[in-house]
């Protein structure tokens, strides 16, 4: 240990040229504290920054090293394994290492940098000073210190003025680094004298000090510590009573760190493992075998909705815990519902940490700390829970593995499935990919033997699949029905409500107009900065751009032809709701979309209202498509099945198939038989036809053929480069140059497609061009290609040009990542 004198630190400055570690001296007194994964405070230029220790080099890059100033946590937030993972991710996702390291820790640890001002040594009185300076100095006298922002908020005080005052020594500026939110503390009270003395003191108190006497009597019989709030509430005593006793030296206050509990001490009814069906047991055994042998395996658990996958996860986790290891369960954010959480809390109680975006930063931090400290052994959460710092990972479950939300769309642009695979290899752990509708890639890997493949074809307790009816909307139109609702859907809905049952109506968010359309010239109102229609928000009567945030009032006249024949389309769900009210007056509808679920807890509230029968219809977007389980739902209506088919995305058919299958799974989960009505303008499309017929196998085979023919993943890999620039001409030149640079550096069989305008050709006044690179699926990393991209990025001279690089076609096996 003692020979560790130098630490390589990744410093929190994400500028070009700093994506490399800097060496720092480890002061003697910190030697035992600094390890790989420690978060440290270091000097960087004239400032102090946070950094992560990633290595202990034997020799330094330069002679005179500066020392590490401080180790910021008692337990390092990262483990050596996670640091290794970060290095791998930085390489394959072409992203600065510090960005990856920070993505792995809770937001509160990212640190904030605040600058404080104090009066300096050269300060000599405030007479004869200009007004602004005098004001600043007066306030500093009063408060001793101000943050830089507070100072600049004062009238007349500017940054240059402060700089001048710092330069001539009248002010001192100090930068401090701290955590974003402090750990939550709570005040506790304990007696500092034995019971006999407390009793004596109580007797000698004056008559009017009854509350103090109560407090002393309390501690005389129960000398253990108690939270101050609780004590005051129990005894109905004022805080001053305790204050007085503390002053007299009879009691002592103490601060204790506390975990916020997002479930507010709610208890969950404990559940016992269910006896597995033969099919379930077979699946369970294929997880159990490698788990007990400590061998890495990836297993695709392809089971129809309601086939009991979750019960299998629960029992596999029990085995994992029994063997002294830990488990991570990933679920898509939107299916991290109270129902789901209850199932895990019900089986594992306090052993579970739940990580989702509905928690405050502090709550998330606390859940994470339980993982880091070993207090819990199961983590359930959305994408980033894959970084849960467990030391002996035994099992990772990715539920609904086909979900696109497992891919992060900002740096680091990782896919949780790939990261999971890396970690499971490292730990000799089992990775279970569970879904009713696998991604085409996972299906293919399972069929060709890279993943193990287990299927569950029956619904538990022999419940039947719903009957699916596909309605051709073109026929409806021919017959003069211009409503959003076809007659079959309308009739089924009426019948369902008449029987006292419930219906779910599903609308694909992307498919429905939320724009303003001119009926004279057909133009939609566009964002002035982006090539995209503005979205109409009915609640506050504005038009907004979802890309840049631009907002305007709703125009009375068409901006391009001045016609007043303008039509506002509300959000799709609002339109459907209006139409329902018109067709079936008195129908009780709960609408779930971004507008109604914005507030914290709204999602949960609406769902439980529906579950308790307060409405006949649940109407919503994607967010109702999965995970929900309501016994009284016997009808599912899909308003427009094909809206997604026309997106410029090679996964369009896959997504349509998955969505229809998932939505259909919501009907008839219980005793009552279910029915699904799918409205579409393309009833013949194979994704719609095969989803309606429950013909998954046929769909996947056909989709694989198409992918192979057009050379898309899993039959090749993709890199997508997105270049943007405020000047169209400059962008075109740069894009062509980039393509030419890459062409000769491609691996064998590689091809460059483009440059072509991106699907949204302009955002925030920047033009966008895309280049796609397809290359062969060899088992090892395309190191040369990644290196070429690095060079390309490094060689960019134009400061206005930005380039984003994304790996599409993720979910690759990466057998050769080392």
Place of tokens 């008692």: 74
Complex with ligand ADP: residue 306 or 683, whichever CB lies closer: 306
Complex with ligand ADP: residue 268 or 686, whichever CB lies closer: 268
Query: How many CA atoms does the CB half-sphere of 595 hold within 13 Å?
Result: 18
Please report, in range form, the residues annotated as the binding site for Zn(2+): 518, 521, 527, 530, 545, 548, 558, 561
Quick one: which of 530, 640, 718, 758 contacts Zn ion (CB under 5 A)? 530
Q: How far is the CB of 482 from Zn ion (least distance, A)?
A: 22
Q: How far is the CB of 346 from ligand ADP (least distance, A)?
A: 10
Note every long-range contact of 573-581, with CB atoms under 8 Å and residues 24 or more positions apart, other chains counting. 573/507, 573/512, 573/619, 573/620, 573/621, 574/538, 575/484, 575/512, 576/484, 576/505, 576/507, 576/619, 576/639, 577/619, 579/483, 579/484, 579/485, 580/485, 580/617, 580/619
Query: How many CA atoms does the CB half-sphere of 603 hold within 13 Å?
Result: 18
Quick one: which of 38, 102, 193, 307 contacts ligand ADP (CB under 6 A)? 307
Picked from ligand ADP, Zn ion, none, the partner binding residue 276 (CB below 5 to 8 A depending on kind) is ligand ADP
Contact letters (x/-) for ligand ADP, 261-300, by CB under 6 A? -------------xxxx--x--------------------
Q: What does the alpha-carbon distance between residue 117 and residue 162 come to, in Å, rounded to a whole number?
A: 9
- Under the criterion CB under 5 A, does residue 558 sit at the interface with Zn ion? yes
Q: Are 47 and 88 in contact (CB under 8 A)?
A: no
Q: How far is the CB of 569 from Zn ion (least distance, A)?
A: 15
Q: How far is the CB of 520 from ligand ADP (least distance, A)?
A: 50
Q: What does the alpha-carbon distance between residue 377 and residue 352 come to, in Å, rounded to a whole number?
A: 6
Complex with ligand ADP: residue 343 or 766, whichever CB lies closer: 343
- Under the criterion CB under 6 A, does residue 308 sit at the interface with ligand ADP? yes
Complex with ligand ADP: residue 308 or 668, whichever CB lies closer: 308
**Residue 818 CB burial class (10 angstroms; 0-12, 13-18, ≥19):** exposed
Selection from 105, 165, 179 nearest residue 133 by Cα: 165
Q: Are 400 and 331 in contact (CB under 8 A)?
A: yes
Q: What does the alpha-carbon distance between residue 613 and residue 588 come to, in Å, rounded to a whole number?
A: 10
Site for Zn ion in 496-525 (CB under 5 A): 518, 520-521, 523
- Say if strands 675-680 and 633-638 run parallel, antiparallel, or are unpaired: parallel
Contact segment (CB under 6 A) with ligand ADP among 244-252, 305-313, 361-369, 400-408 equals 305-313
Q: How far is the CB of 766 from Zn ion (least distance, A)?
A: 11
Site for ligand ADP in 442-471 (CB under 6 A): 460
Q: Are 345 and 376 in contact (CB under 8 A)?
A: no
Quick one: which of 303, 412, 637, 674 contacts ligand ADP (CB under 6 A)? 303
Per-residue H/E/C for 364-388? HHHHHHHHHCCCCCEEEECHHHHHC
Query: How many CA atoms does the CB half-sphere of 489 hold within 13 Å?
Result: 28
Please report, in range form, the residues annotated as the binding site: 518, 521, 527, 530, 545, 548, 558, 561
**Residue 186: helix, strand or coil by DSSP?**
strand
Compute the C-alpha angle 703/304/382, nearest 5°: 85
- Under the criterion CB under 6 A, does residue 315 sit at the interface with ligand ADP? no
**Residue 400: helix, strand or coil by DSSP?**
coil
- Under the criterion CB under 6 A, does residue 339 sit at the interface with ligand ADP? no
Complex with ligand ADP: residue 277 or 502, whichever CB lies closer: 277
Complex with ligand ADP: residue 342 or 764, whichever CB lies closer: 342
Q: What does the alpha-carbon distance between residue 281 and residue 46 come to, in Å, rounded to a whole number?
A: 63
Complex with ligand ADP: residue 82 or 460, whichever CB lies closer: 460
- Under the criterion CB under 5 A, does residue 529 sit at the interface with Zn ion? yes
Residues touching Zn ion: how many (CB under 5 A)?
15
Contact letters (x/-) for Zn ion, 562-601, by CB under 5 A? -x--------------------------------------
Picked from Zn ion, ligand ADP, none, the partner binding residue 376 (CB below 5 to 8 A depending on kind) is none
**Residue 394: helix, strand or coil by DSSP?**
strand
Q: How far is the CB of 421 from ligand ADP (least distance, A)?
A: 22
Complex with Zn ion: residue 10 or 530, whichever CB lies closer: 530
Picked from Zn ion, ligand ADP, none, the partner binding residue 584 (CB below 5 to 8 A depending on kind) is none
Residues touching ligand ADP: how many (CB under 6 A)?
14
Q: What does the alpha-carbon distance between residue 521 and residue 478 come to, in Å, rounded to a whole number?
A: 25
Contact segment (CB under 5 A) with Zn ion among 561-569, 655-663, 729-737, 780-788 equals 561-569
- Under the criterion CB under 6 A, does residue 611 sit at the interface with ligand ADP? no
If you write DSSP's letter for every residue of 625-688 in order, what string do you get? SSS---TTEEEEEES-TTGGGGSS-TTHHHHHHHHHHHHHTTS--SSS--EEEEEES-TT-HHH
Complex with ligand ADP: residue 308 or 754, whichever CB lies closer: 308
**Residue 15 CB burial class (10 angstroms; 0-12, 13-18, ≥19):** exposed
Element (H, E) at 480: none
Q: What does the alpha-carbon distance between residue 664 and residue 636 come to, in Å, rounded to a whole number?
A: 7
Picked from Zn ion, ligand ADP, none, the partner binding residue 520 (CB below 5 to 8 A depending on kind) is Zn ion
Q: What is the CA radius of gyration of the chain?
A: 31
Picked from ligand ADP, Zn ion, none, the partner binding residue 814 (CB below 5 to 8 A depending on kind) is none
Complex with ligand ADP: residue 17 or 275, whichever CB lies closer: 275
- Under the criterion CB under 6 A, does residue 311 sit at the interface with ligand ADP? yes
Picked from Zn ion, ligand ADP, none, the partner binding residue 779 (CB below 5 to 8 A depending on kind) is none
Q: How far is the CB of 314 from ligand ADP (least distance, A)?
A: 8
CA distances from 558 to 513, 538, 541, 565, 568 (A): 17, 18, 16, 8, 11
Complex with Zn ion: residue 248 or 546, whichever CB lies closer: 546
Contact segment (CB under 5 A) with Zn ion among 97-105, 133-141, 385-393, 543-551 equals 543-551
Picked from ligand ADP, Zn ion, none, the partner binding residue 310 (CB below 5 to 8 A depending on kind) is ligand ADP
- Say if strands 675-680 and 467-472 run parallel, antiparallel, or are unpaired: parallel
The residues of the shown chain that bind ligand ADP, judged by CB under 6 A, are 274-277, 280, 303, 305-311, 460
Interacting residues with Zn ion (CB under 5 A): 518, 520-521, 523, 527, 529-530, 545, 547-548, 550, 558, 560-561, 563
């Amino acid at each position: 240990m003692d020979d560790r004198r130098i630490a390589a630190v990744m410093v929190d400055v994400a500028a070009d040229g700093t994506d490399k570690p800097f060496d720092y001296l480890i002061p003697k007194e910190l030697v035992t504290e600094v390890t790989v994964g420690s978060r440290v405070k270091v000097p960087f230029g004239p400032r102090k920054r946070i950094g992560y220790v990633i290595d202990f080099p034997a020799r330094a890059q330069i002679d005179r090293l500066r020392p590490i100033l401080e180790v910021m946590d008692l337990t390092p937030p990262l483990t050596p394994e996670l640091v290794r993972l970060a290095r791998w991710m930085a390489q394959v996702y072409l992203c600065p290492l510090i960005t990856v390291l920070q993505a792995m820790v809770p937001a509160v640890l990212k640190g904030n940098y605040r600058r404080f001002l104090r009066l300096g040594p050269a300060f000599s009185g405030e007479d004869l000073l200009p007004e602004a300076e005098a004001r600043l100095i007066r306030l500093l006298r009063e408060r001793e210190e101000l943050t830089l922002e507070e100072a600049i908020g004062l009238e007349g005080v500017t940054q240059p003025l402060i700089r001048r005052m710092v330069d001539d020594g009248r002010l001192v500026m100090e930068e401090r680094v701290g955590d974003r939110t402090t750990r939550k503390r709570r005040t506790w009270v304990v007696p500092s004298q034995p019971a006999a003395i407390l009793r004596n003191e109580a007797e000698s108190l004056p008559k009017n000090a009854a509350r103090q006497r109560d407090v002393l009597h309390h501690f005389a019989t129960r000398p253990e510590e108690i939270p101050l709030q609780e004590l005051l509430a129990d005894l109905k005593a004022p805080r001053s009573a305790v204050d007085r006793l503390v002053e007299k030296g009879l009691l002592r206050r103490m601060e204790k760190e506390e975990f916020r509990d997002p479930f507010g001490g709610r208890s969950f009814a404990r559940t016992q493992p269910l006896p597995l069906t033969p099919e379930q047991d077979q699946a369970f055994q294929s997880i159990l075998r490698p788990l007990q042998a400590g061998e890495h395996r990836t297993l695709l658990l392809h089971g129809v909705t309601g086939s009991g996958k979750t019960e299998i996860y629960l029992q596999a986790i029990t085995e994992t815990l029994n063997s002294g290891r830990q488990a991570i369960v990933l679920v898509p954010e939107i299916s991290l519902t109270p129902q789901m959480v209850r199932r895990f809390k019900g089986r594992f109680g306090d052993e579970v940490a739940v990580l989702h975006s509905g928690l405050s930063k502090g709550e998330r931090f606390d859940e994470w700390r339980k993982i880091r400290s070993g207090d819990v052994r199961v983590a359930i959460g959305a994408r980033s829970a894959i970084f849960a710092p467990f030391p002996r990972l035994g099992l990772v479950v990715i539920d609904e593995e086909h979900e696109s939300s497992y891919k992060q769309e900002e740096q680091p642009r990782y896919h949780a499935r790939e990261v999971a695979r890396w970690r499971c290899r490292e730990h000799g752990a089992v990775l279970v990919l569970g879904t009713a509708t696998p991604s085409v890639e996972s299906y293919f890997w399972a069929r060709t033997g890279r993943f193990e493949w287990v299927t569950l074809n029956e619904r538990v307790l022999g419940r039947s699949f719903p009957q699916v009816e596909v309605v051709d909307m073109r026929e409806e139109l021919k017959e003069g029905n211009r409503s959003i609702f076809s007659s079959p859907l309308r009739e089924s809905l009426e019948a369902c409500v008449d029987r006292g049952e419930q219906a779910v109506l599903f609308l694909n968010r992307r498919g429905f107009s939320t724009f303003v359309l001119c009926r004279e010239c057909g133009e939609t109102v566009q964002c002035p900065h982006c090539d995209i229609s503005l979205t109409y928000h009915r609640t506050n009567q504005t038009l907004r751009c979802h890309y840049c945030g631009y907002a305007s009032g709703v125009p009375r006249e068409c901006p391009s032809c001045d016609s007043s024949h303008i039509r506002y389309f509300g959000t799709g769900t609002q339109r459907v709701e209006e139409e329902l009210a018109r067709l079936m007056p008195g129908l009780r509808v709960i609408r779930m979309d971004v507008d109604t679920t914005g507030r914290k807890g709204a999602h949960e509230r609406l769902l439980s209202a529906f579950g308790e029968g307060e409405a006949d219809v649940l109407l919503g977007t994607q967010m109702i498509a999965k995970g929900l389980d309501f016994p009284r739902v016997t009808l599912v209506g899909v308003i427009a099945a094909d809206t997604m088919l026309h997106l410029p995305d090679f996964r369009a058919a896959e997504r349509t198939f998955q969505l229809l299958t998932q939505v259909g799974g919501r009907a008839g989960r219980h005793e009552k038989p279910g029915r699904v009505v799918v409205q579409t303008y393309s009833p013949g499309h194979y994704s719609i036809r095969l989803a309606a017929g429950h013909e998954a196998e046929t769909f996947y085979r056909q989709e694989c053929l198409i992918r192979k023919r057009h050379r898309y993943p899993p039959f090749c890999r993709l890199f997508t480069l997105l270049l943007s620039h405020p000047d169209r001409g400059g962008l075109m030149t740069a894009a062509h140059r980039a393509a030419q640079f890459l062409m000769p550096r491609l691996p064998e069989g590689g091809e460059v497609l483009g440059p072509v305008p991106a699907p949204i050709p302009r955002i925030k006044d920047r033009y966008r061009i895309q280049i796609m690179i397809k290359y062969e699926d060899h088992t090892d990393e395309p190191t040369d290609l990644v290196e070429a991209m690095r060079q390309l990025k490094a060689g960019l001279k134009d400061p206005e040009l930005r380039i984003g690089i994304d790996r599409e076609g993720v979910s690759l096996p990466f057998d050769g990542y080392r």
